[in-house]
Amino acid sequence: MKKFVAVFMILSYALVFCSLAFAATDRVVIYTAAEDERIAYLQEELNKQFPDVEIVIQSLGTGQLLSKLQAEGKNTDCDIFYDLEVVNAEIILNADPDLFVDLSDYDFSIYDASVTGYTDRHHKYAVNGKTYGAFLVNTTVLEENSLEIPQTYEDMLKPEYAELISMPSPKSSGTGYSYYNGMVTVLGQDEGLAYFEELNPNIKEYTTSGSAPAKAAVRGDVAIAYGLLWQCVNYANVNEGMTVVVPEKGLAYDLFTMGMISGHDEKPAVKEVFTYLYNELNKPQCAKFNPDIIYVDMPAAEIPNYPTGFGEITMEGMFDFEYKQDLLDQWEY
């Protein structure tokens, strides 16, 4: 009997200990459209900084992140969103102005004026990244077809590049939409739409993912890919026969945002993780992956051969979701 009581007491203590340990474990869920390599970096750094917090980073496509946050509202599992395209953030706020935590207590003076076009209206999100688009070219494939490296946006229209180009679809990718919007901004709406009509025969595939075209170019499935500048440079750095084309007319770009879901910031771990992400972690993340200027004291790019001094297209309707929807309604491919 004594032996039975002793065993019972040991089991009871074990159950209590496990219950307390489980209760003490905080959990923070981050929804993000960031690329796999960036997610891996964030996961590693957050785990080191918060060893007692279970941090779950859920990877979603650009469109998926928008639709999931729209559908779930404040009842979402998401505590922190990261890399939400800026115009999609505006779409969400238009329907539910209180879904995101007001970040007015955070220091917005750290941001470069070029990325704060929304701050005179609200502080419901902060910019976590600015990404330019460029062309990754597989010179081996071009040589096999006796073709020269295209240098301009107009060069992409030449019939000799038929079915040798890949770009992300503007309807599913922020990268694809920035290319689309950029050409419309530079050329005007009618000529911009005509540009893509003329480009269409040269497109082998419109991908749902912003990073898929560059991967296809590296494999040799296409000769020319429109993609994120930082990814294009990285691929060119480590793969033979790859080069990056930065057209003289300048590069289109997109902005991405981070913030918290209202009510979820009341959990101490969520607030602590976001504050660390905002104040400490995002800067080195930018330097390592997407080093285009968003901060006043932007850290130097850690990517070898990263271009400087290129022009920037002044993007029309950056924060205007109705403008975006109008453009997408006219996309036919």
pLDDT tens readout for residues 134-175? 999 999 999 999 999 999 999 999 999 999 999 999 998 889
201 secondary structure, DSSP code: G
Specify the CATH superfamily of domain 131-253+308-329. Answer: Periplasmic binding protein-like II (3.40.190.10)
pLDDT at position 25:
61
185: left (phi over 0), alpha (psi -120 to 50) or beta: alpha
Q: What is the pLDDT of residue 314?
A: 86
Tokens 């850690």, located at residue: 302
At residue 248, the pLDDT reads 92
Q: Which residues, including other chains, have CB under 8 Å from residue 286's CB and lie 6 or more apart?
A: 129, 292, 294, 295, 298, 299
Return the CATH superfamily for domain 2-128+255-288.
Periplasmic binding protein-like II (3.40.190.10)
Check pLDDT > 80 for residue 14.
no
- Report the distance separating Cα 288 and Cα 327, nearest Å: 33
Q: Which residue has the tokens 């038929």?
A: 162
pLDDT, position 124: 97
pLDDT digits (tens, 9 = 90+) for 16-35: 444 444 334 699 999 999 98
Report the C-alpha gap between 20 and 108 in whole angstroms.
39
Angle between helices 189-199 and 174-187 (to 10 degrees): 120
All CATH 3.40.190.10 domain ranges in the chain, comma separated: 2-128+255-288, 131-253+308-329
pTM of the shown model: 0.85
Tell me the per-residue pLDDT of 42-66, one tens digit each, with 9 for 90 and over. Answer: 999 999 999 999 999 999 988 899 9
Kindly write down the DSSP assignment for every residue of 31-99, as one continuous string: EE---HHHHHHHHHHHHHH-TTEEEEEEE--HHHHHHHHHHHGGG-S-SEEEEEEHHHHHHHHHH-TTS
**Distance between CA 142 and CA 290 in Å, rounded?**
28
